[in-house]
């Protein structure tokens, strides 16, 4: 239709070529000429993206100038299903083009992950587009950092991954949240009502990682009704996911009624808890510090740079938000998939329960501690082949 309209416009201009054209007409002609030229140059990919003949067989055919954005919008309600279908068609990687984002290459093979995340890690950065999308939520934390800044966060956080801390977690945050979850499951069992395991796992990891990172008590499992921090955190993580697939997020965040206000309110909740934990920790006495286990905040708040500076409250708040996202959702989703697979394989579930009962030789009424775990027969099996395993279907293997 655009080309037909352009043809008629040119015909009219030729018929009236004897008269003088206005500046507006020249602008219209030039604009239409540029538009047609752009369509010819970008027939099936996003504007300003570079042609990649080497990816010809791995590129999802898109629309002129818009690339693959229309398909993304169409499948936004089932983005994972859409990606799964694309991987089935193209293999272990394929390419998309999106306005403003440029060309995106998605991979789904262990060797590709190893290349990006380990072997050639320094060659892959998050970049300014990703930082601009998420800086109001994640600040300057590990998720949006590159190179030296990323190494600082990673190296400092690694201090908590020690045997001593693991022992504290088993007998502390993880044991308590595990017992809280058991109470929730018992109440559902007694009342005969179904339980949303994924929802409960998200509450469990919220409580556990709140204690692990900044020593915060959210009480998501034990408190009925809405949880102020949990609700705000869930809204923001959903917004993070939306922004990474929406090149015009900076417009939709302002245009959609109420979204900007809700986003600001959720950010205020995260800020409140983060700054509250930092203020409380800075005001601690030496005696109070000795009575409690060390956590992630201790390592970052006590860090002194070469120039003698320490992290500000804003930087510590960013640490809190980033590591909550890193630990909370990934662990909860891993637990949900684990139990989904167990429930779809009752024989494996039965064998696993029998193995726990016989190998651990531990009474359910006694709190499970690090010492019991290390002294039980199961610790001797760590270097042997597991007696229980789950055979994944090809479809499930792609998702896990």
46-90 pLDDT per residue, tens: 988 998 999 989 999 999 999 999 998 888 888 888 889 999 999
Highest mean pLDDT among 147-161, 276-290, 357-371: 276-290
What pLDDT digit, counting tens, does each position of 200-257 carry?
999 999 998 888 888 888 889 988 778 899 999 999 888 888 888 888 888 888 899 9
Q: What is the pLDDT of residue 78?
A: 86
Strands (E), the chain: 93-98, 102-107
pLDDT above 80 for 9: no
Q: What is the pLDDT of residue 379?
A: 55
Other beta carbons within 10 angstroms of residue 391's beta carbon come to 9
- Which residue from 158, 201, 230, 179 is spatially nearest to 334, judged by alpha carbons? 201
Q: Exposed e or buried b for every residue in 287-300, given b needs 16+ CB within 10 A?
A: eeeeeebbbbbbbb
Q: In Å, how far are 19, 198, 394 from 397, measured between CA atoms?
A: 70, 19, 5
350 vs 18: which has the higher pLDDT: 350
Q: What does residue 6 show for φ and ψ, rounded to 5 degrees?
A: -65, -40
Q: How far apart are CA 116 and CA 122, in angstroms?
A: 8
**Contact (CB, 8 A) for 284 and 174:** no
Q: What is the pLDDT of residue 393?
A: 35
171 vs 309: which has the higher pLDDT: 309
**Contact (CB, 8 A) for 60 and 95:** yes
The domain ranges of the chain are: 1-41, 45-124, 154-343, 345-400
pLDDT above 70 for 179: yes
Q: Which helix (H) or strand (E) holds 51?
A: none
Confidence of residue 173 (pLDDT cuts 50, 70, 90): confident
Average pLDDT, the chain: 82
pTM of this structure: 0.76
Q: How far apart are CA 55 and CA 96, in angstroms?
A: 10
154-343 architecture in CATH? Orthogonal Bundle (1.10)
Q: How far apart are CA 129 and CA 233, in angstroms?
A: 22
- Which residue from 127, 319, 134 is spatially nearest to 212, judged by alpha carbons? 319
């Amino acid at each position: 239709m655009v080309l037909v309209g352009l043809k008629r416009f040119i015909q009219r201009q030729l018929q009236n070529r004897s008269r003088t054209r206005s500046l507006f007409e020249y602008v219209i002609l030039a604009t239409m000429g540029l538009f047609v030229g752009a369509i010819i140059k970008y027939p099936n990919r996003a504007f300003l993206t570079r042609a990649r003949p080497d990816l010809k067989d791995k590129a999802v055919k898109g629309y002129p100038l818009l690339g693959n954005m229309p398909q993304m919008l169409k499948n936004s309600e089932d983005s994972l299903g859409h990606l799964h279908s694309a991987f089935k068609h193209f293999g272990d990687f394929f390419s998309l083009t999106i306005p403003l984002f440029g060309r995106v290459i998605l991979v789904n093979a262990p060797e590709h992950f190893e290349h990006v995340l380990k072997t050639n890690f320094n060659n892959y950065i998050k970049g300014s587009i990703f930082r601009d999308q998420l800086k109001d939520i994640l600040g300057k934390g590990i998720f949006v950092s590159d190179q030296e800044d990323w190494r600082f966060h990673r190296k400092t956080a690694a201090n908590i991954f020690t045997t001593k801390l693991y022992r504290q977690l088993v007998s502390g945050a993880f044991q308590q949240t595990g017992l809280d979850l058991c109470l929730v499951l018992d109440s559902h069992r007694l009342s005969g009502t179904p339980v949303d395991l994924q929802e409960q796992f998200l509450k469990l990891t919220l409580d556990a990682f709140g204690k692990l990172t900044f020593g915060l008590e959210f009480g998501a499992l034990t408190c009925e009704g809405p949880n102020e921090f949990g609700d705000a955190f869930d809204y923001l993580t959903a917004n993070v996911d939306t922004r990474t697939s929406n090149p015009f997020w900076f417009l939709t965040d302002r245009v959609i009624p109420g979204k900007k206000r809700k986003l600001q309110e959720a950010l205020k909740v995260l800020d409140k808890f983060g700054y509250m934990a930092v203020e409380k920790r800075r005001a601690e006495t030496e005696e109070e510090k000795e009575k409690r286990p060390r956590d992630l905040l201790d390592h970052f708040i006590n860090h002194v740079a070469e120039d003698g500076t320490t992290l500000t409250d804003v930087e510590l708040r960013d640490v809190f938000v980033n590591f909550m996202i890193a630990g909370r959702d990934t662990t909860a989703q891993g637990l949900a998939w684990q139990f989904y697979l167990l429930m779809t394989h009752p024989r494996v579930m039965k064998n696993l329960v029998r193995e726990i009962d016989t190998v651990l030789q531990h009474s359910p009424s006694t709190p499970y501690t690090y010492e019991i775990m290390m002294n039980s027969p199961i610790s001797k099996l760590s270097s042997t082949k597991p007696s229980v395993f789950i055979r994944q279907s090809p479809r499930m293997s792609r998702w896990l």
